[in-house]
Amino acid sequence: MTDRIKIWGSAIRPRTIPLSLSGVIVGGCIAVSIGEANLWAWLLCAVTAVLLQILSNLANDYGDFDKGIDTNKRTGPQRAMQSGKVSASEMKRAIGTVAVLALLSGASLVFLVARLSITEMIVFAALGAGAIAAAVLYTLGKRPYGYRGLGDFYCFIFFGLVSVAGTFFLVAHQWDYAILLPAAAIGFMSNAVLNINNMRDYVNDKFNGKNTLVVRIGINRARRYQTLLIIAAFLFLTVFTIINGKPFWCYSFLLLLPFFVLDLIDIHARPPRYLDPYLKKQAIKTFILAVVFGVSIL
């Protein structure tokens, strides 16, 4: 029993969970800072985001193994199906179960808790369905978009724009186009995590025909892309803080920039196979950035 818990605990990839909460934290804190907020909606946003992240991780485990990408030559932690300890049928049931839970959580948020109009319900129901589809189709199906270099685009949309801006609207029940600045910033940070993952797997992915963005542009351009993502994220957060006329302590998030720069220096210097530790570092630091930025806004 203990072994099974460890196996499934590893399969859901706990180190990615803080990343899934980053956008919800930023969007919710900004919503609370401008007045009355629906805290139950904020909670359900968090639950749904975590379930979508787990769904994506499980689907990725199944999809890569099914397509022969997860071999013994792959760098990084051994995945559940790759280890042989989880069968295809077990993983399919797990994917189906988490998908249903994400659907129920999202439906409760949109139709029961968020107090939306009919039009708003339709829009958010469509976004929710799109998020579930994006989580599953990254590596599953006949033409998974993750194998065509489109993972970064969907990651930016759903873990950046939708996560932050969607949470903001559902919690505050109002709109401000300026919210797209921190939403894009979290999207850039989420892409930075995905980019490290794909740099780590560059050799294996290229050999097996998984054409991630890193495989398409090459490892050196991917390192430069990583730098641009970090710079853009801090720039967008700074611009948002400026245009909202926030006091000086709201710029405290800039104190975290040197820690990201130190990681960038190492990422530029190390071969791809040694980048796995920076995947966890980037996810945790993105979460800390979201907390510091969100709390300072409050």
Residue 181 contacts residue 240 (beta carbons within 8 Å)? yes
pLDDT at position 140: 86
At 162, list the tokens.
């939708």
CB atoms within 10 A of CB 267: 23
3-class secondary-structure state, position 171: helix
pLDDT at position 75: 67
The reply to whether the predicted model has a pTM over 0.95 is no
Rg (CA), the chain: 19
At 222, list the tokens.
């991917």
pLDDT at position 112: 94
pLDDT at position 171: 96
CA atoms within 13 A on the CB side of 201: 25
| Dihedral sign (CA 188, 192, 198, 202) | positive
Residue 56 contacts residue 135 (beta carbons within 8 Å)? yes
CB atoms within 10 A of CB 261: 13
CB atoms within 10 A of CB 81: 21
Residue 222 contacts residue 202 (beta carbons within 8 Å)? yes
pLDDT at position 86: 83
Q: How far apart are CA 79 and CA 60, in angstroms?
A: 10
Per CATH, the number for 2-297 is 1.10.600
Domain-wise residue ranges, the chain: 2-297
The separation between the first and the last C-alpha atoms of the chain, rounded to the nearest angstrom, is 44
Q: How far apart are CA 204 and CA 209, in angstroms?
A: 9
Give the residue among 190, 196, 146 at the shortest CA–CA distance from 164.
Answer: 190
pLDDT at position 238: 97
Mean pLDDT by 10 residues, the chain (298 residues): 77 88 97 90 97 93 79 67 82 94 96 95 96 91 88 95 97 95 98 95 88 95 98 98 91 96 96 92 96 94
